[in-house]
């Protein structure tokens, strides 16, 4: 896909022994996204960011990750699995700058890409993605980010405040809300708050703000 003159091109590389992972992440991200064009590159081409599947640390000695992190100009993000959080921690110790869960949404990956482009990626380092099975809402399939958004809705935050607290765009927040509402089978903020309270999301007692 050819970018327009005003679009920013971001080249990604997915390093994994699993073809399905490489295909999945590439298909999730390739294309135009709000002023940026994501394209994948392979060996021999210089990427702007590398996504490293941590299963490589289980299947090998990790020398491929060591080689990647030595290329200081290219940020490396470890793609983790909730079943092996130890591998994500090991990737960080070996020099990966941040982690992202295998089940993350396209918006989550785009946030990581933007952080890498702005030089803020290391702020995420050391914050390994929690096991989504232990989060409130896991029984209906809420992702980590969706659970965070629902928690803030329950606490009375407006969409604008959610954007500020999670450092995401308004469109991203709306996307998380729509997805979460479908999984929760609710149609309004009031219903979402009631559902959240019933399913273990903390309530601070503040009155709900508008959208």
What token pair was written down for 28? 């999730």
How far apart are the C-alpha atoms of 22 and 8, rounded to whole Å? 22
- Give the chain's domain count: 2
Q: Please check whether residue 190 lies inside any domain of the structure.
A: yes
Domain of residue 165, CATH code: 1.10.10.10
Say what the pLDDT of residue 53 is.
93
Of 98, 129, 160, the last residue of a domain is: 129
How far apart are the C-alpha atoms of 127 and 99, rounded to whole Å? 8
Q: Please check whether residue 186 lies inside any domain of the structure.
A: yes
Of 80, 111, 129, the last residue of a domain is: 129
* Nearest CA-CA partner of 124 in 49, 180, 56, 178: 49
104 contacts 145 by C-beta, under 8 angstroms:
yes
Q: Are residues 155 and 108 in the same domain?
A: no
Per-residue pLDDT of the chain (211 residues; tens, 9 = 90+): 454 555 688 999 999 988 888 999 999 999 988 778 999 987 767 899 999 999 888 767 778 898 888 876 889 999 987 667 778 888 888 889 888 888 788 888 988 898 888 887 765 544 444 444 456 787 888 887 888 899 889 888 999 999 888 877 888 899 899 999 999 999 999 999 999 888 888 654 444 444 4
Q: Please check whether residue 118 lies inside any domain of the structure.
A: yes
Domain of residue 101, CATH code: 3.40.50.2300
Q: Please check whether residue 99 lies inside any domain of the structure.
A: yes
Q: Are residues 182 and 124 in the same domain?
A: no
DSSP annotation of 101 reads E
Q: Are residues 17 and 114 in the same domain?
A: yes
Helix H or strand E encompassing 13? strand 8-15
Q: Are residues 123 and 192 in the same domain?
A: no
How far apart are the C-alpha atoms of 195 and 185, rounded to whole Å? 9
Backbone angles phi, psi at 33, to 5 degrees: -140, 100
Q: Are residues 77 and 138 in the same domain?
A: no
Q: Are residues 107 and 61 in the same domain?
A: yes
Boundaries of domain holding 119: 8-129
Of 83, 106, 129, the last residue of a domain is: 129
56 contacts 64 by C-beta, under 8 angstroms:
yes
> Exposure of 38 by Cβ count < 10 A (0-12 exposed, 13-18 middle, 19+ buried)?
buried
Helix H or strand E encompassing 135? none
Q: Are residues 47 and 72 in the same domain?
A: yes
Say what the pLDDT of residue 209 is.
47
Q: Are residues 169 and 83 in the same domain?
A: no
For the question of whether the overall pTM of this predicted structure is more than 0.75, the answer is: no
Say what the pLDDT of residue 116 is.
86
* Nearest CA-CA partner of 127 in 137, 117, 115, 139: 115
C-alpha angle with apex 31: 105 to 42, nearest 5 degrees? 90
Q: Are residues 65 and 145 in the same domain?
A: no
Residues β-bridged to residue 32:
37
Say what the pLDDT of residue 39 is.
92
DSSP annotation of 2 reads P
């Amino acid at each position: 896909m050819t970018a327009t003159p005003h679009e920013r091109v971001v080249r990604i590389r997915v390093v994994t022994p699993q073809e399905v992972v490489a295909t999945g992440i590439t298909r999730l991200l390739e294309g135009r996204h709000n002023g940026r064009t994501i394209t994948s590159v392979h060996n021999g081409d210089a990427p702007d960011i590398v996504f490293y599947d941590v299963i490589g640390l289980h299947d090998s000695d990790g020398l491929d990750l060591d080689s990647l992190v030595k290329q200081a100009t290219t940020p490396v993000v470890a793609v983790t699995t909730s079943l092996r959080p130890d591998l994500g921690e090991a990737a960080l110790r070996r020099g990966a700058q941040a982690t992202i869960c295998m089940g993350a949404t396209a918006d989550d990956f785009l946030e990581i890409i933007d952080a890498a482009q702005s030089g803020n990626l290391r702020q995420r380092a050391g914050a390994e993605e929690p096991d989504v099975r232990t989060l409130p809402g896991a029984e209906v399939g809420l992702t980590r980010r969706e659970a965070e958004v629902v928690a803030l809705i329950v606490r009375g935050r407006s969409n604008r405040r959610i954007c500020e607290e999670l450092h995401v765009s308004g469109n991203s927040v709306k996307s998380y809300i729509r997805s979460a509402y479908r999984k929760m089978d609710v149609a309004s903020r009031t219903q979402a708050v009631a559902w959240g309270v019933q399913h273990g999301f903390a309530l601070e007692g503040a009155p709900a703000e508008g959208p």
